């Protein structure tokens, strides 16, 4: 049995408030624990989006009542809150800027609002950006100009990871994350997954893009699931929304890569624990660890997953390595298919917790 720290996922969507038929703080944090994550960072593109105190209160009330693992919540950057967001910085775990097409209404249009957020958000609090292509170049320039750290979400393409590599070489304070689905799937998987279920942002890319991510592993600071569940009915419907569930398959996929010699355990732990803890200034979780059977062979079946969405793009895939036990703050939280901590066990890790 392999003992690892409790994993940290800096990018999940738990759909609460507003879309608890897809996921909520209970089902989402259960999926997290089953997947070996003891802390998750929750995105603000909910209904309503988390852009001010009243909307944040909805999320914090739900999380406090239902979360089974520890959590941080991001504030959403909007055009309207560009000059007021900084006041809320101590009460959240970071600011999320959406510069490109995504699910939900949060979208920052216009250089002025982006510049204002960059200038106003406290330099010692995390600033994260969904920024693809030319938007990525914009964000990197503003990070350099303002000499402030920025974290780039779900990097998926060759030209983007190379741009980040070059920015790092020039001393730009940028960090980045890559999802397991962009490391393990490409557009060639779409016929197997199905067109509606294959919708994700950024989209699945080419084999050359995927190989460029692996070739630039040292540029990747974090593995983040971008767990973004929608129901099967929605994904198989007329206007399929983008997003994959990922909390329960991420570690198995990456341990399989370890088994294949593509990744070391140290490289995995730095990207799923050490780096996210440092980049996001997260507190240590005392007496917390996961125990993993690195040799356990298993096949992914959606009916065995705990996410409410009821499907996975990895259906039927054979993995090697599985979580057996999770201990969170001294309590047995999960063991062999059974969750042992109640809703409300999770704590808010923001500097001023609500
Ligand atoms: Zn996301």
pLDDT digits (tens, 9 = 90+) for 175-232: 999 999 999 999 999 999 998 999 999 999 999 999 999 999 999 999 999 999 999 9
Residue 74: other Cβ atoms inside 10 A? 25
Give the pLDDT of residue 209: 98
For the chain, list residues with pLDDT below 70: none
Give the single-character DSSP code of 42.
Answer: E
**CA dist., res. 263 & res. 247, Å (int):** 19
How many A from CA of 177 to the centre of ligand 1? 11
Distance 13 CA to ligand 1 centre (A): 6
CA 226–ligand 1 middle distance (angstroms): 5
> Separation of 295 CA from ligand 1 center, angstroms?
31
The rounded Å distance from CA 330 to ligand 1 centre is 31
CB 307 within 8 A of CB 248: yes
CA of 1 to the centre of ligand 1 (A): 32
The distance from CA 84 to its chain's CA centroid, rounded to whole angstroms, is 25
- State the pTM of this model: 0.97
Give the C-alpha separation, 136 to 315, whole Å. 32
Rg of the chain over all Cα atoms, to the nearest angstrom: 19
Could you tell me the distance, in angstroms and rounded to a whole number, from the CA of residue 155 to the centre of ligand 1?
Answer: 11
Q: Give distance in angstroms: CA of 309 to centre of ligand 1.
A: 16
Distance between CA 98 and CA 78 in Å, rounded?
9
Residue 39 is classified by DSSP as: E
154 CA distance to ligand 1 centroid (A)? Answer: 8
pLDDT of 104:
75
For residue 227, report the distance from its CA to the centre of ligand 1, in Å. 7
Task: State in Å: Cα 332 to ligand 1 middle.
Answer: 29
């Amino acid at each position: 049995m392999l003992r690892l720290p409790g994993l940290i996922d800096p990018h999940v969507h738990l759909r609460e408030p507003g879309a608890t038929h897809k996921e909520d703080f209970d089902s989402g944090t259960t999926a997290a624990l089953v997947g070996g994550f003891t802390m998750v960072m929750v995105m603000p593109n909910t209904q309503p989006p988390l852009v001010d105190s009243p909307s944040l209160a909805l999320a914090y009330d739900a999380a406090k009542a239902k979360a089974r693992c520890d959590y941080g919540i991001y504030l959403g950057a909007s055009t309207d809150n560009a000059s007021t967001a900084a006041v809320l910085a101590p009460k959240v775990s970071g600011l999320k800027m959406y510069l490109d097409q995504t699910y939900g209404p949060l979208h920052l249009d216009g250089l002025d609002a982006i510049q204002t957020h960059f200038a106003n958000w406290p330099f010692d609090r995390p600033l994260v950006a969904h920024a693809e292509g030319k938007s990525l170049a914009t964000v990197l320039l503003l990070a350099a100009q303002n000499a402030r750290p920025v974290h780039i979400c779900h990097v998926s393409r060759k030209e983007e990871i190379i741009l980040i590599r070059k920015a790092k070489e020039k001393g730009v304070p940028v960090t980045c994350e890559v999802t397991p689905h962009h490391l393990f799937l490409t557009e060639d998987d779409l016929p197997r997954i199905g067109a509606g279920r294959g919708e994700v942002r950024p989209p699945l890319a080419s084999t050359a893009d995927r190989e460029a991510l692996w070739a630039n592993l040292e540029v990747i600071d974090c593995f983040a699931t971008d767990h973004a569940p929608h129901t099967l009915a929605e994904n198989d419907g007329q206007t399929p929304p983008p997003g994959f569930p990922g909390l329960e398959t991420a570690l198995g996929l990456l341990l399989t890569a370890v088994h294949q010699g593509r990744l070391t355990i140290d490289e995995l732990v730095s990207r799923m624990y050490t780096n996210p803890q440092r980049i996001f200034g997260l507190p240590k979780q005392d007496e917390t660890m996961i125990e993993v059977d690195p040799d356990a062979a298993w096949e992914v079946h959606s009916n065995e997953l705990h996410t409410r969405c009821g499907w996975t793009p990895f259906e039927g895939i054979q993995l090697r390595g599985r979580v057996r036990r999770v201990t969170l703050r001294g309590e047995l939280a999960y063991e062999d298919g059974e969750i042992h901590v109640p809703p409300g066990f999770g704590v808010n890790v923001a500097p001023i917790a609500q």
